[in-house]
Structure 1
Amino acid sequence: YLKDKIKKPAGEPLFSTLNGDCVVSDGPICNIGGRMTLPECHLPDHLVDPHVPPMLIVNIQIPVHPRAIFGARRLPPTVNAAFYLQMTESTATGLEALRNGGSAPGPVKLLKTWCEHAEEDEALRGCLKLIGLIQNLAEINAPSFVSGYNGKPVLMSEAGMSTAKRKGNAEIYRGPGYLEIDIDVAKNFSYVAQRGVCWMLGTADKLIADIAFVLEGREDDLLPECPLACMRLDHMPVLDAIDEGTFFGIPSPLGGGGGGEDEDEGGAGKGDGLSADGGGGGGGGGGDAGG
């Protein structure tokens, strides 16, 4: 592909989508997996890789409105859309082959490298990308700044001319049996990009949207790419998301889960989840987070 630009169909996802939760807080909830009881490892011991955990959590932290450019004092209320991904047995088998000196598909090799080194290698961390495709775009009168990016991959990295040298802006957390990737939209997206994401948040109950997380292959032996995981969000009432205190069964701490910076004015909303049963107390119904 790097020479002829001819694309090939992607392979099967490396992880299956177990579930999702949607939680609203006063700011982004960082390392949401560390506050939950997660499922036990489903893989036999010989397939467990010391560097690539059997579960990934991807938490997209979306402000309910774009953060103010000037004069902001508090973080905007944030919808934390957390997806729980379970490694497939074929991925685990490929990782075992690599540990034993054998070969594996390019995306499996990239997954291993990324999980081992992305925390300290910012350029490597920047090869994470998200692809969103709204299937019913014509029905909802989407603005041009949304429709123009529909179906196009977006790297989770700083802007820059050289893709390979861009610093990744996702935060990585580790815990027993999981690795979490947090994507803070208010902190890392441009104002225009935030407008697009916030528009989708406000109309999510009308959308049929497919989402894929991908690690970008930048060498021939890492291609063709395949998704880390993919899922469909079907008419999801995310602005009715369950609040942080109810989700965790405790009073919501002042300032949410540790977004860090002071930002926009505003308090937390109320709500309903992508789906219940991520181990944290459950969200309400109304939607589908299946792959």
Structure 2
Amino acid sequence: MGACVSTSSPRTRVRRKCHRRPKRFCRKVPSSVPGETKKRNRQEVSNPALHLSQLQWHHSQIDATVICQEEAWFDTVSVLESDSDDDFSSVHEGFNSIKCDIRDIVSGHEKTQGNVLKSVLPKLVNSLSFNDKIISVSSPGLHSQRRQSTIIRLSVTRTSIDEVETDEYCASKMHLFRPRAGLIIPRCKEEKPTSGTWSAIEPSNFTLRSSSYFRDKKKSPAPNTCPYTPIGLDLFVCPRKINHIAQHLELPSIKADRKIPPLLIVNIQLPTYPAPMFLGDADGEGLSLVLYFRLSESFENDISPQFQDSIKRLVEDDMEKVKGFAKESMVPFRERLKIMVGVVNPEDLVSNSTERKLLNAYNEKPVLSRPQHSFYQGPNYFEIDLDIHRFSYIARKGLDAFRERLREGILDLGLTIQAQKPEELPEKVLCCIRLNKIDFIDGGQIPTLMRHGDNSFSDSE
């Protein structure tokens, strides 16, 4: 019996020992317990070789469709996320968190490949679309996106983006000091108009007062002769209005052997800021559309003596008597100057009935330039400045509405001297030119004209 007692006693202790421990703890304990994980982390930090070998082992255990840490390091997308030195301190922490996620995936047999992609892939790379990252560069929240990034990377794609930004910046900041006149907008010599060019047109394209206008108020196509022919066109950005623009340009050297200047320069000053209800100083950032004309070689033979005399009076700032309600008054002859603007393809510019009515009301209707004009004279030129900044609110508002769509429009511009007496009829065109779909929105392609005394770029801005 003693033998039986001695043999049963150990068995009883074994049963009691197993009985105290819950059944779920009887299985084999996994090797990656928390205590060992912490110990292993300390060893990995102190032993770089062990750390590298374990990382390679983890990479070999991941499916080929999952992006590993090494692939994410050479990711050309995430470089656009951050370029701040403040994010460098979070690189090591982000690396450890990603490594732990990979270890959990390898040790967890219940996760499928789809679960791996859903759980780990967003942590490694926020987006796999390079186009999306390019769009985010120009978005307002770029600064916040950069601050949230946890990895700083270098990539050759960043260099290409910098070049594009540099090129755009240089184009938008292109400054010209005393450029040669007529080199910005090229001339189109073909029958079919080319976008961004100018063409010479016949004066008969404009409808002016006919020989019987004072009897029947009828108009007819203008005579097909013109004292000035177009030779060039320029378009400049002006931080402020530039008056007497000819003194800031290199003009053609043409001798003035007549009483009438051989060069006629028309400077059309266009505002680019939103049209205010009240003019104020009527100045600000805008464009200068500069037209260059040369006196016709057949001026003496083709132009009537009466019209030659009118041109001389315009240049010499002659005064004339005008009958009023109470008495006669002396008025400058230059107040007869009229502007003519005609849209060749109006249907390409209008988008609704209101714009169509507005365009029809002003299209091909000569308008007196007074009092929004100025005149300057040089050794061989006569300059006319037309200040659109000081036009009526409706006119400026209409121009602002159509300015972006003028790149699709073909415009005929011209000047004439209004006839006040029967002997001055029919009205004749002083100068005219056609603009072929010229873009009046500065996207960096329009240079800025620098004036005398502007020693730096900042002085003109």
TM-score relative to the length of structure 1: 0.70
Quick one: which amino acid aligns to residue 372 of structure 2? N
Judged with a 3 Å threshold, the aligned counterparts in structure 2 of structure 1 residues 18 and 71 are, in CA distance, closer, same or farther, namely closer
Is the 1:245–1:251 contact (alpha carbons within 8 Å) kept by the matching residues of 2? Answer: no
Quick one: which amino acid aligns to residue 361 of structure 2? G
Cα distance per residue 1:78-127 (max 9 Å; x no partner) = 110010111112324578xxxxxxxx443222111111125997542221
Please, which of 196, 207, 220 is the counterpart of residue 409 of structure 2? 207
Aligned to 2:376: 173
Aligned to 1:34: 247
Identity %: 28
Measure, in 2, the Cα distance between the counterparts of 1:250 and 1:205. 33
Cα distance per residue 1:182-210 (max 9 Å; x no partner) = 011112x1111111223343222111111
Aligned to 1:263: none
Larger radius of gyration: 2
Judged with a 3 Å threshold, the aligned counterparts in structure 2 of structure 1 residues 156 and 70 are, in CA distance, closer, same or farther, namely closer
Corresponding residue SS for 1:30 = coil
Measure, in 2, the Cα distance between the counterparts of 1:141 and 1:193. 16
Cα distance per residue 1:39-90 (max 9 Å; x no partner) = 12267x3xx11xx211111101010134423595783311100101111123
Aligned to 2:222: 10
* Alignment pair present for 1:78 and 2:286: yes
User: Which stretches in structure 1 are left out of the alignment for 5+ residues?
Assistant: 96-103, 158-167, 257-266, 268-291
Quick one: which amino acid aligns to residue 21 of structure 1? D
More strand by share: 1
Aligned to 1:243: 448
Corresponding residue SS for 1:239 = coil
Quick one: which amino acid aligns to residue 181 of structure 1? I
Judged with a 3 Å threshold, the aligned counterparts in structure 2 of structure 1 residues 72 and 171 are, in CA distance, closer, same or farther, namely closer
* Alignment pair present for 1:64 and 2:272: yes
Judged with a 3 Å threshold, the aligned counterparts in structure 2 of structure 1 residues 76 and 2 are, in CA distance, closer, same or farther, namely same
Alpha-carbon offset, residue 228 of structure 1: 1.1
Measure, in 2, the Cα distance between the counterparts of 1:233 and 1:30. 22
Quick one: which amino acid aligns to residue 238 of structure 2? S
Is the 1:20–1:84 contact (alpha carbons within 8 Å) kept by the matching residues of 2? Answer: yes
| More relative contact order, 1 or 2 (CA 8 Å, 6+ apart) | 1
Paired residues in the alignment total 232
Corresponding residue SS for 2:441 = helix
Measure, in 2, the Cα distance between the counterparts of 1:123 and 1:74. 23
Quick one: which amino acid aligns to residue 221 of structure 1? E
Measure, in 2, the Cα distance between the counterparts of 1:53 and 1:74. 30
Cα distance per residue 1:148-206 (max 9 Å; x no partner) = 2111111112xxxxxxxxxx43101111101111011112x111111122334322211
Quick one: which amino acid aligns to residue 440 of structure 2? V
Is the 1:9–1:224 contact (alpha carbons within 8 Å) kept by the matching residues of 2? Answer: no
Measure, in 2, the Cα distance between the counterparts of 1:201 and 1:115. 32
Aligned to 2:263: 55
* Alignment pair present for 1:234 and 2:436: yes
Corresponding residue SS for 1:13 = coil
Judged with a 3 Å threshold, the aligned counterparts in structure 2 of structure 1 residues 245 and 224 are, in CA distance, closer, same or farther, namely same
Is the 1:14–1:226 contact (alpha carbons within 8 Å) kept by the matching residues of 2? Answer: no
Judged with a 3 Å threshold, the aligned counterparts in structure 2 of structure 1 residues 137 and 6 are, in CA distance, closer, same or farther, namely closer
* Alignment pair present for 1:152 and 2:365: yes
More helix by share: 2
Aligned to 1:220: 422
TM-score relative to the length of structure 2: 0.46
Quick one: which amino acid aligns to residue 215 of structure 2? K
Corresponding residue SS for 1:89 = coil
Aligned to 2:339: 130
Corresponding residue SS for 2:222 = coil
